[in-house]
Amino acid sequence: MYYLIIIFIGIAWFCWRDNIKCKFPITSKDIVLITGACMGLGKALAIECAKKKCKLILLDVRSDLSLDLLQDIKKEGSEAQFYRCDLSDLQSTKELISIIKQKYKVTILINNAGIGIFKLFQDESMQDVIKTNTINYLAPVMLTQEFIKDNIKHIVNIGSAASIVQGMKITAYSASKHALWGFHNSLRMELKHQNSNVRTTLVCPWGIKTGMIQGLKTKLDYFLPMMTPEYVAQCILQAIEAGREIIFIQWYQFYIAHISRLVSSKIVDWFILFVQAKHVHEFKGRQE
């Protein structure tokens, strides 16, 4: 038993060391495209990338927020180009990407943009479901397909703990993130089979302090606090540079996500009802 513990600790240490090693540094030669770049995690990612002096291509439907972001990036000594983009319109997005590809050789794609329309399923419209899945799943798939043709260096997809764990008022959102999880993991296997140089990272964070999940509360908030966008952005860039394939940000998120798949669904459902049901009526999300 003693030797097994030593071996386990040794393997854990090796994996930890390998996961923080900077194998693929982000430099001023990189051109990073970020979707949903003007708010929350997207904005934090843009600022962190700017600190590394790389060129930034920023996409967001909120053009009214772009000026402040561009000024913040300029303060960091980096350059950025903003394009208004509504990812729910796949055809116009594809046309915009074609224009961008003619001007820039994007090396890192971060599919960050996401939407959450948090209602009980019977209160959701099909328009809500279609819009959620288009922005959260189909748009990242399309952008990935467009840039993978050019042998891009790295593709990052922002998933969610909802890619694995169920909850209330997230039926459409969870479905879109489950789809992204399946797509990303299957794509990674294809790239490995083809001996491709394209690297991929799937990010599955727990709660992030952004307006998108406004009102989300559970009985475990004290033990599982929300993370700041800045902290998550730093973790994502570290993961890109380390070549990590899947990250859950906090160590306990990994275990929660995977244990939920090993135990009875009745136990998982009871637990989620216990921690969320009391506050589910407060969970509204961003209202703008």
Kindly report, residue by residue over 249-268, the tens digit of the pLDDT.
877 666 766 676 677 777 76
How much is the pLDDT for 288? 52
Domain residues for 143?
24-282
d(CA 159, CA 177): 6
Q: Is residue 111 part of a domain?
A: yes
Q: What is the pLDDT of residue 122?
A: 87
In a domain, 16, yes or no: no
In a domain, 185, yes or no: yes
Residue with tokens 């386990």: 8
Query: What is the count of structural domains for the chain?
Result: 1
Q: Is residue 1 domain-resident?
A: no
Which pLDDT score, from 0 to 100, does residue 186 have? 97
| Residue ranges of the chain with per-residue pLDDT less than 70 | 1-20, 162-163, 166-168, 210-224, 252-254, 256-258, 260-261, 268-288
Please give the C-alpha separations between residue 32 and each of 134, 193, 233, in angstroms, as whole numbers: 22, 26, 14
The answer to whether residue 11 sits within a structural domain is: no
Q: Is residue 249 situated within a structural domain?
A: yes
What pLDDT, on the 0 to 100 scale, is given for residue 265?
Answer: 72
3-state helix, strand and coil shares in percent for the chain, rounded to the nearest 5? 55, 10, 35
> Is residue 208 in a domain?
yes
pLDDT of residue 11: 45
CATH number at residue 162: 3.40.50.720
> Of the candidates 51, 20, 48, which has an alpha carbon nearest to the alpha carbon of residue 244?
20
Nearest to 164 by CA among 286, 45, 246, 282: 246
Phi and psi at 170, nearest 5°, equal -135, 30
Predicted local distance difference test score (pLDDT) of residue 273: 63
Here the tokens at position 185 are 């993991």
Q: Is 227 part of a structural domain of the chain?
A: yes
